[in-house]
Amino acid sequence: MDNDIVVKLKKSFLFRGLPESTLSELAQRVTKRKLVKDEVLIRKGAEGDSLFMVDQGWFKIVSEEAQGGELILNHSGPGESIGEMALLDEEPRSATVIALSDAEVLELKRDAFLSVLNQNPELSVQLIRETSKRLRFTTTYLEKAIDWSKKIGEGDYSFALEEINTEKPLGGQESDEDKAGQLLSAFFSMVQGVKAREDELKEQLLKLSIEIDEARRKQEFEEITSTDFYADLKLKAKKLREKRTNDNP
Amino acid sequence: MGQIVSIHSFRGGTGKSNTTANLAAQVALAGKRACIVDTDIQSPGIHVLFGLNEVKMGKTLNDFLNGLCDIKDVAFSIGENALDAEGRSKLAGKDLWLIPCSIRGREISQVLREGYDVNRLNEGLQTLLKDLNLDYLFIDTHPGLNEETLLSIAISDILIIILRPDQQDLQGTAVTVDIARSLDVPKLLLVVNKALMRYDFQDIKNQMENLFKAPVAGVLPLSEDLADMGSADIFSLRYPDHPWSQAIRGVAQMILASK
């Protein structure tokens, strides 16, 4: 049983490379947990005192929106760890984690984790490395979100529509950039709605239909301009303009 | 020398007085010396936008036309006396005057009955330009094409025709444009007011310019907010970010650029 867990721990990015003795020690303190598809592993805002290593299956890390929708922040799969942030800073869980498929994780409680950490400085380095990787991903994600928001502001929706139409399967060897694009495309799918509404509005803009009765126009003009008053006015206006020009050359 | 800017519309209800008041206010706000003359003697209205009523109103254009006073005595300083509303208060210290018309029924009916001497009106306007050292003299005209209005058009350096995008206004505007050309008005600008938001404003502008061969200085949206304020204040000063106000500033820029 423990040996089985040691094998699993060796596959986790966080613990691989630790001495056999440490892994055995850890193996005694972790518990296996099975989840079915759509089961919630972590609930945002909850107290968190465990760390999870994904052994099998995939999870989505989501931020729930007020309107009931969800925004996928990241995906986690075999080898990756989940929940180490709350374990370290003792703040409530920062996001919700839901199984995308039937899955199996190893759970490690804070006390156990900290005592292993104390005895294995290399684990700290490994932890920092994993955290840095995640931070780097967040930066890419943010940069892309800013870039796309800017484009939307300028009325360019092409990027999001492209991304949305080329969804790639999970777990590929995509770069951070690609991964951020995939995740954000779900978020920016609202852009499709915005664009559709805008297009519809543009089509709805009515065109004015203008028609002038030219005969009437001519007749009314002649009625006004055929009077003595008008002839006099035209002359007077001409003189006045000349006078003002001469007074102020 | 100051420029005479006549604001005209073929029919009533186009928002002419409101547009005139806002344009003059914007020009004054830009530091120019401006005066508005209300020549709509039959149905005066622009004074209300500057908070003037029968009690506050002193001498009027009617007094001048009847030979009872000099035109300068009629000039009411907005920058000193009309700062009792949020928008208008921004005109404090600005060089903006108003020549109001009498709102007394007796005096209005007298003018309607007897008419008045357009020559004297013309002299008064020329005097104002000189004595107040104006950059711009705005004339709020009476709708239609009666003799007084024809005079305002004839002597103007810039004629702004305000129209709504509807058939009757268009027909009347066509005649006014022809008259303005016949009277050699140097600059003609069209302003479309009360355009419904569901219309394509760029298309309206293009069509009007094609039809009248004159530039459209602005297409102003029909605004419920503007109607809601009634005539209590100068809208573009009170709500500078409103689309209507932005469009008005665009027209004011064209007036300022044409000096």
A120-158 pLDDT, tens digit each: 888 888 888 888 888 898 898 888 888 888 888 787 777
pLDDT: which is higher, B184 or A166? B184
Strand, coil or helix: B258: coil
CA–CA dist B183, B177 (Å, integer)? 10
Q: What is the pLDDT of residue A187?
A: 67
| Residue B242 pLDDT exceeds 80 | yes
- How many Cβ atoms are within 10 Å of A1's Cβ, its own excluded? 8
The alpha-carbon gap from B101 to the nearest alpha carbon of chain A, in Å, equals 23
CA–CA dist A28, A30 (Å, integer)? 6
Does B69 contact A at CB distance below 8 Å? no
Question: What's the complex ipTM?
Answer: 0.87
Does A239 contact B at CB distance below 8 Å? no
Q: State the average pLDDT over residues B159-171.
A: 92
Residue B116 — pLDDT band, cuts 50, 70, 90? confident
Q: Of A43-57, A220-234, B22-36, B144-158, which one has max mean pLDDT? A: B22-36
Q: What average pLDDT does chain B have? A: 92
Q: Using the beta-carbon criterion (under 8 Å), do B211 and A210 form an inter-chain contact? A: yes
Burial class (CB in 10 A: 0-12, 13-18, 19+), A240: middle
DSSP A41: E
Nearest to B147 among A229, A240, A247 (CB): A229
Structure tokens at A170: 């999970």
| Residue B30 pLDDT exceeds 90 | yes
Q: Which amino acid is at B87?
A: G
Q: Using the beta-carbon criterion (under 8 Å), do B122 and A240 form an inter-chain contact? A: yes
Instruction: Report which of B72, B83, B9, B92 is spatially closest to residue B45, judged by C-alpha positions.
Output: B9
Q: What is the pLDDT of residue B174?
A: 95
Structure tokens at B226: 């503007």
| Residue B206 pLDDT exceeds 90 | yes
| Residue B57 pLDDT exceeds 70 | yes
Q: State the average pLDDT over residues B44-49.
A: 90
| Residue B236 pLDDT exceeds 70 | yes
Q: What is the pLDDT of residue A203?
A: 66
pTM of the predicted structure, to 2 decimals: 0.62
pLDDT: which is higher, A159 or B108? B108
Ranges of residues in chain A with a pLDDT under 50 are none
Nearest to A230 among B150, B155, B196 (CB): B150
CA–CA dist A164, B178 (Å, integer)? 57
**Which range is least confidently modeled, A195-209, B1-15, B35-49, B173-187?**
A195-209
Nearest to B171 among A212, A233, A234 (CB): A212
Instruction: Report which of B37, B13, B22 is spatially closest to residue B144, judged by C-alpha positions.
Output: B13
The alpha-carbon gap from A230 to the nearest alpha carbon of chain B, in Å, equals 8
Q: What is the pLDDT of residue A173?
A: 61
| Residue B61 pLDDT exceeds 60 | yes
3-state secondary structure A58-122: CEEEEEECCCCCEEEEEEECCCCEECHHHHHHCCCCCCEEEECCCEEEEEEEHHHHHHHHHHCHH
Q: State the average pLDDT over residues B179-208.
A: 92
Structure tokens at B153: 């058009």
Q: Using the beta-carbon criterion (under 8 Å), do A212 and B178 form an inter-chain contact? A: no
Q: What is the pLDDT of residue A239?
A: 86
CB A26 within 8 Å of CB A116: yes
Q: Which residues of A touch B178 (CB under 8 A)?
A: 217, 221
Q: What is the pLDDT of residue B259?
A: 65
Percent of chain B past pLDDT 90, that is, above it, reads 68
Q: Using the beta-carbon criterion (under 8 Å), do A221 and B182 form an inter-chain contact? A: yes
| Residue B131 pLDDT exceeds 60 | yes
pLDDT: which is higher, B1 or B131? B131
Q: What is the pLDDT of residue A237?
A: 86
CA–CA dist A188, A141 (Å, integer)? 13
Residue B124 — pLDDT band, cuts 50, 70, 90? very high
| Residue B145 pLDDT exceeds 70 | yes
